Structure 1
Amino acid sequence: MTLETLQAEVMRLSPADRANLLDRLIASLDVDAGVEAAWDELADQREQELAVGATAAVAFDLAIARLEARFPG
Structure 2
Amino acid sequence: MTQKISQLSGQLCSREDFRAFCGTTTADEAAAFIRRVCRVQSRRELDHNPEARDRFHELVRKPFAYRTAP
Calculate the TM-score normalised by the size of structure 1.
Answer: 0.34
TM-score with structure 2 setting the length: 0.35
Higher relative contact order (CA 8 A, sep 6+): 2
Give the structure with higher Rg (CA): 1
